[in-house]
Structure 1
Amino acid sequence: MVASLQSTFGSAFVGLVVSAVLYGVTILQTYLYYRNYPNDHKILKWMVALLWALDTAHIALCVIAVYSVLVLNFNKPDILQTTTWSMNVQTDFNGLIGLIVEVFYARRVWIVSRNIFLTVIILILSIIHFGLGIVFTIGSFQTSRANFGNLVWVTSVGLGSAAAADMLIGISLCYYLSQSRTGFRRTDNLISTLMKYSLTTGFLTGIIACLVVITFGVMPNNFVYVAFFWLLGKCYVNSVLAALNSRESLREKAHPNSGSFLNLSGITNSGVPPATRKPSLSVNVEITSKTRTDYIFPPPPSASTTTSMVGPSTFSPLSPSMCSPLSPSTS
């Protein structure tokens, strides 16, 4: 069947627009991560940077692929029967993103379960997903668009493995988190939130992967499957970034009354005018001085004695130095 522009790059263009929106979310989440978690381990920081770089390269390749057909080769229907290098190579970037994300979640499964068998299965499925993505890229360079049906098994097994890994991750995290319930309401509510997030993330990417397999198996000569495939990579990246950025809100949910520490050394640079900062504690200190002048002879009429306003007066014996009316002593 001859492919039309609407079913090929028309579908790809729709997928590109939605992917561009999700890429904007990726940029925002990446910025929030580096701003809010500057003390994270270097491995996490490098992983986020790598995912952002791969996602940027992927969206750039998608733009090049669509632009080369819809603009550079406008009104050339023969181009629809061929493939471009950018359209073929973008598959590997999405595959590498999927591998990194699935390894990240496999580590989480290992942390909560300590089940080596389950973790290895997830890793094997992830490697199959990435490996068959490379096979698909090589086959795309060697096969014309009309013979893409020969690569259906590659896509079916590769993305089927990805869907199986994603759903297995979601179910495993949900199961082992449910075993961690303590009976305390606040802790159990937090665990329920984590379970919902794990199921939503795992099943969302799994369903999208299944849609790619189904659409490519039914319509291998158009690009409906490409639109779903481009969305899959963006969902992978944003799922990891959302998991990393949600840690602070989950911590506050677990300890709502813990408050925040105030760094007093930076209060003058806080930008709040001093008049608007009301102290929570006010301490008034009254200092009263007591002076006594002693004379050996009766004091002259101009002399005066000041007594303390606070407490009884306590006097000490005269010292030898107090021997003159010109030598007052202050205690």
Structure 2
Amino acid sequence: MSGTLVVEAVSVSTTFGAAFIGLVAGAVLFGVTLLQTYEYYKRYPQDSFHMKLMVAVLTALDTLHLVLCTKTIYWYLITNYNRPDNLDNTTWSMALQTDCNGIIGLIVECFFARRVWLMSKNWPLVVIIVVLATLHFGLGVVFTAESFILGHFSKFQRLTWVTCTGLGAAAVSDILIALSMCYYLQKKRTGIERTDDLVTTLMLYSINTGLLTSIIATTAVILFAVMPTNFLWLCFFWIMGKCYVNSVLASLNSRDRLRQKVYSSGVNITPSPGGRIVTDSSHNFRDGPILLRRVSNPAPKLAVAVETTTEYKTDYPDSSQTASVNSPSTPKLGNEDSKVPWVAL
């Protein structure tokens, strides 16, 4: 009898105990999501409608996912309290929560794939990223359908290839996004310490964007492959979608901070022809392409200013337009470099 109790206790701790921990961690991250969403709409009221809609959809999906996870835990631990025969059954909320994470992953990875495209114009790379993201979402739908068909957690080992392939595709996509953004940012180094510091900051943002989600997805893959009948993998899977949402929101909310770094590096932001840009004391901007212009500090007795321009693109509707201004054909003085790194802020 004691041996049976020990086995049962271990089973509960590695199944619904692990799922409960994942729910608590997910609820904490959901609080961060709400805070970042509030900050986004407060600080960037002039963002495009499509950008605002994407943030709203991601927040709504994150909310729905938390509701489904809470419903799942409540059904197993409260509704079926002291009914061990039902603990192996798959409930509808347990099956559907997979699709919420799948849609979130698809939207987020396509968002960052767009940034990779703006930086590189490398369409084969972008296609690979999008295909991997779609594979992640598609196999999530397969997992949901098979969960209803199988009906029991004890049969989930039959879905090992589905889960491992889907989460593996998500991990590879995240790694490709981070590495490609770092690679193309590295090529934009100018040799000037201040502008290179900006590039380094952007590279760190890129690494942090893809590294965390890829680690979580890889951990979930390994745990499901080794122990498909317990919920240790589910603990990581439940927080993965929230990490996706927060990575996008953190990227959007960091734009002012990065622009201030641009200002401190001696790069001025001015409207491009046809662009609709309004600046205020907090450096908020309206829609439109933006020019980065470096102006050398003229010597006290010289009346010569050197102006050069570089292309700058943003996450706004007119970002596909190219901003161009004719640089004056004046001689270059001192060691002032005319290149400014391309960044997608």
Q: 1:43 aligns with which of 50, 54, 59?
A: 50
Q: What are the superposed Cα offsets for residues 55-96 of structure 1, whole Å, 9 maximum, x if unpaired?
A: 000000000000111111111111221111101100000000
Structure-1 residue corresponding to 2:148: 141
Q: 1:182 aligns with which of 175, 187, 190?
A: 190
Residue 4 of structure 1, CA deviation: 2.1
2:33 matches 1:26: yes
Where do residues 218-297 of structure 1 align in structure 2 (5 Å cutoff)?
A: 218-256=226-264, 261=280
Residue 254 of structure 1, CA deviation: 1.1
Structure-2 residue corresponding to 1:166: 174
> Aligned AA for 2:79?
L
> Aligned AA for 1:12?
A
Q: 2:120 aligns with which of 90, 113, 129?
A: 113
Residue 262 of structure 1, CA deviation: 6.0
Question: d(CA) in 1 for partners of 2:67 and 2:33?
Answer: 14
Question: d(CA) in 1 for partners of 2:62 and 2:180?
Answer: 27
Question: d(CA) in 1 for partners of 2:219 and 2:86?
Answer: 26
Secondary structure, counterpart of 1:81 in structure 2 = coil
Residue 197 of structure 1, CA deviation: 1.2
Residues 8, 80 of structure 1: 8 Å contact kept: no
Structure-2 residue corresponding to 1:154: 162
Q: Which runs of 5+ in 1 are unaligned?
A: 264-331
Higher strand share goes to which structure? 2
Q: TM-score if structure 1 supplies the norm length?
A: 0.77
Residue 147 of structure 1, CA deviation: 1.1
Q: What is the aligned residue count?
A: 263
Q: 2:90 aligns with which of 66, 83, 102?
A: 83
Q: 2:105 aligns with which of 98, 101, 112?
A: 98
Residues 212, 229 of structure 1: 8 Å contact kept: yes
Structure-1 residue corresponding to 2:285: none
Q: What are the superposed Cα offsets for residues 258-286 of structure 1, whole Å, 9 maximum, x if unpaired?
A: 798469xxxxxxxxxxxxxxxxxxxxxxx
The RMSD of aligned alpha carbons is 1.7
Residues 80, 87 of structure 2: 8 Å contact kept: no
Question: d(CA) in 2 for partners of 1:261 and 1:8?
Answer: 53
> Aligned AA for 2:159?
L
Question: d(CA) in 1 for partners of 2:77 and 2:219?
Answer: 25
Relative distance call for 1:187 and 1:27 in structure 2 (3 A) is: same
Secondary structure, counterpart of 1:5 in structure 2 = helix
Relative distance call for 1:252 and 1:160 in structure 2 (3 A) is: same
Question: d(CA) in 2 for partners of 1:186 and 1:114?
Answer: 26
